[in-house]
């Protein structure tokens, strides 16, 4: 017969097992019907680590409710980004999803900003492990569990999240993003094979066909006109990043200019647009209303 433990001893054993990683707390799946307001669930239906997903649901979620992904910054503060977008989700009537890529499982720029695509030796990881793939799988999961029918989603990222978002459609040409907004990225993966990844397409595995597809996508480069501090942290300050411009505003302008030149050179359709927000520096709180208005114009 197995030994029986008194309650204090059993509690101690369970605590030790949790610390040693022998047990895990139960994970909540996406709710079958999203309750109105703020919430949190854990998403694990993909090949990577479980992701906390902060959400806000409008008062009336119907099968046709739009889905908007918001990608957090380098602080990995998905809860704060959810809070900064909650009123907008309620106003425009969309389901807000903020998947959070924590520092423990996705340390550094490579694992989050750059999508966890390339291993340290430069080879591609299996696509199922890419952070970009998590967005597509989460989209399917939420639709299936909540009975939503949207064929596409909207996605926005600010700062490190903007680095994530503007790479997604290069590495996943078939991503179902109907509208993409990259806001105030610190540096860019330029649409240029002469520049090495992560600052360009060289060695990334992106093909010429992927580039042409990406240039035709409905992308908005959104820039705060006052995001001009050349020493703002944690803006990348490598020589390759500095070559893109002195600050985030100039880097965004140069990124869009180069993309425009590439479409002319390649003779392909150009789906990108650029917009600026007057008086705004490096602030997701102040960029979010402009982004939501672009997603849902009157």
Report the number of distinct structural domains present in the chain.
1
> Is residue 8 domain-resident?
no
* Per-residue pLDDT tens over the stretch 100-118: 999 999 999 999 999 999 9
Q: Which band of pLDDT confidence, cut at 50, 70 and 90, is reported for residue 28?
A: low
Q: Find the domain containing 245 and state its range.
A: 27-295
List beta partners, residue 275: 222
Element (H, E) at 98: strand 95-99
Task: Find all residues with CB under 8 Å of 53, minimum gap 6, and list them.
Answer: 30, 40, 41, 42, 43, 78, 97, 98, 99, 100, 138
> Is residue 4 domain-resident?
no
Give the domain CATH number at 78: 3.40.50.1820
List, in sequence order, every beta strand (DSSP E) within 134-242.
Answer: 153-158, 177-183, 219-224
* Per-residue pLDDT tens over the stretch 259-284: 999 999 999 999 999 999 999 999 99
> Is residue 6 domain-resident?
no
* Per-residue pLDDT tens over the stretch 37-53: 999 999 999 999 999 99
Query: What are the backbone dihedrals phi and psi of residue 43, each rounded to the nearest 5 degrees, phi first?
Result: -105, 125
Question: Pick from 278, 296, 251, 286: which is nearest to 158 by CA?
Answer: 286
List beta partners, residue 68: 96, 154
- The dihedral of CA 255, 258, 260, 262: what is its sign? negative
User: Is the pLDDT assigned to residue 16 strictly greater than 70?
Assistant: no
| Both structure tokens of 228 | 């001009």
> Is residue 5 domain-resident?
no
Calculate mean pLDDT across residues 133-154. Answer: 97
Does the global pTM surpass 0.85?
Answer: yes
């Amino acid at each position: 017969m197995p030994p029986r433990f008194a309650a204090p001893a059993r509690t101690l054993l369970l605590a030790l097992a949790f610390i040693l990683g022998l047990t895990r707390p139960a994970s909540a799946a996406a709710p079958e019907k999203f309750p109105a307001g703020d919430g949190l669930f854990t998403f694990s239906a993909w090949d990577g680590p479980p992701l906390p997903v902060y959400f806000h649901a409008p008062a009336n979620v119907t099968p046709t409710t739009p889905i908007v992904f918001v990608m957090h910054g380098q602080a990995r503060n998905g809860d704060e980004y959810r809070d900064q977008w909650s009123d907008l989700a309620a106003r425009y009537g969309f389901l807000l999803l903020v998947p959070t890529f924590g520092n423990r499982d996705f340390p550094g720029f490579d694992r989050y900003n750059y999508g966890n695509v390339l291993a340290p030796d430069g080879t591609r990881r299996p696509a199922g492990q890419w952070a970009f793939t998590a967005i597509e799988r989460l989209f399917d999961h939420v639709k299936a569990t909540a009975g939503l029918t949207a064929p596409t989603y909207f996605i926005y990222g600010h700062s490190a999240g903007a680095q994530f978002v503007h790479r997604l459609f290069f590495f996943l040409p078939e991503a179902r993003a109907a509208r993409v907004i990259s806001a105030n990225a610190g540096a860019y993966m330029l649409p240029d094979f002469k520049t090495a990844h992560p600052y360009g397409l060289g060695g990334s595995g992106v093909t010429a066909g992927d580039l042409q597809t990406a240039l035709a996508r409905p992308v908005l480069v959104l820039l705060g006109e006052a995001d001009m501090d050349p020493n703002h942290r944690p803006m990348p300050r490598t020589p390759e990043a500095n070559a893109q411009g002195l600050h985030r505003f100039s880097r965004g302008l140069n990124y869009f200019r180069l993309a425009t030149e590439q479409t002319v050179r390649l003779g392909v359709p150009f789906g990108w647009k650029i917009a600026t927000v007057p008086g705004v520096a490096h602030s997701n709180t102040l960029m979010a209303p402009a982004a939501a208005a672009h997603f849902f114009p009157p």
